[in-house]
């Protein structure tokens, strides 16, 4: 009987000690850098000012390559997830879904260098990066490739989603046209 209680007791503590060890590892390994980095980034955004970045975003909205690369990146860096998507209001309707697709797809690549832009969801990146750290390897080459590849992929996503949106909008208006002509004919 006592053995059972002993067994329960030691495993109860063992289980939570294992969890606690994980927690200490995460807190001491990640939080100190993150606190300083976040402070710096928030300050930089304030010093540069919203209006100057707004101008760059408006400029980049005009060209399709910039619209699905620079524009979503600047929007995220300036307003972070989720307010970044409000910049869609500067675009014509058929580009809005594509802009969102590009912006939201950069939500996690952005955290590899600018965690403040989506600090609430950093574990998509950090969870995997932490595994590399535990192997005593540098996460820098992974971070660079994740960030750059992220840019390429949001461009592909933006361009494709824009095409699909235009196609779907066209099909919808065509349906409306045929319905109205049918009713007129009858």
Partner 1 sequence: MAYHKVRVNPGEGGWGKGLVIAPHDRRSKVVSVTGGGIHPVAQRIADLTGAEVVDGFKTQVPKEEMCCVIVNCGGTARIGVYPRMGVPTIDVIPSGPSGPLAQYINESNFVSGVRPDSIVLTDYDGEVEEESAKVTNAAPNQIPANPFGQQNGDQRSFFLKLSGVMGYIVGTLYQSGREAVDMIVRNILPFMAFVSLLIGFVVYTGLGHDLAAVVAPLGGTVWGLTLIVLVGTFPLFSPMLGPGAVVAQIVGVFVGTEIAAGVIPPQYALPALFAIDGQVGCDFIPVAMALGEATVETTEVGVPAVLFSRQITGVVAVVLAWLASFGLYTGSHIK
Shortest gap between Cβ of 153 and partner 1 (angstroms)? 5
Q: What is residue 36's DSSP assignment? A: H
105 CB neighbour count, 10 Å cutoff: 20
Interface residue with partner 1, options 93, 183, 184, 185 (CB under 8 A): 93
63 binds partner 1 per the rule CB under 8 A: no
CA distances from 18 to 9, 67, 69, 93, 99 (A): 14, 47, 43, 52, 43
Shortest gap between Cβ of 53 and partner 1 (angstroms)? 11
Length of the chain: 186
Interface residue with partner 1, options 58, 128, 175, 178 (CB under 8 A): 128
Q: Which is nearer to partner 1, 9 or 14 (CB)?
A: 14
# residues contacting partner 1 (CB under 8 A): 85
Cβ atoms 69, 133 nearer than 8 A: no
Q: How far is residue 186's CA from residue 180's CA, in Å, rounded to a whole number? A: 10
164 binds partner 1 per the rule CB under 8 A: yes
DSSP, collapsed to helix, strand or coil, labels residue 3 as helix
123 binds partner 1 per the rule CB under 8 A: yes
Q: Which is nearer to partner 1, 18 or 181 (CB)?
A: 18
Shortest gap between Cβ of 185 and partner 1 (angstroms)? 25
64 binds partner 1 per the rule CB under 8 A: no
């Amino acid at each position: 009987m006592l053995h059972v209680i002993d067994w329960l007791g030691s495993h109860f503590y063992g289980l939570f000690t294992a969890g606690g060890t994980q927690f200490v590892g995460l807190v001491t390994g990640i939080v100190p850098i993150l606190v300083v980095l976040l402070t710096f980034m928030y300050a930089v955004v304030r010093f540069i000012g919203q209006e100057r970045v707004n101008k760059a975003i408006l400029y980049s909205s005009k060209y399709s390559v910039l619209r699905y690369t620079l524009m979503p990146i600047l929007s995220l860096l300036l307003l972070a997830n989720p307010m970044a998507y409000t910049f869609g209001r500067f675009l014509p309707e058929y580009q809005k879904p594509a802009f969102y697709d590009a912006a939201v797809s950069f939500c996690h690549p952005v955290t590899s260098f600018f965690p403040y832009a989506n600090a609430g969801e950093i574990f998509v990146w950090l969870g995997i990066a932490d595994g590399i750290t535990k192997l005593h390897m540098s996460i820098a080459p992974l971070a660079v490739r994740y960030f750059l590849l992220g840019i390429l992929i949001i461009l592909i996503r933006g361009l494709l989603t824009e095409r699909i949106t235009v196609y779907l909008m066209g099909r919808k208006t065509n349906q409306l046209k045929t319905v109205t002509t049918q009713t007129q004919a009858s």
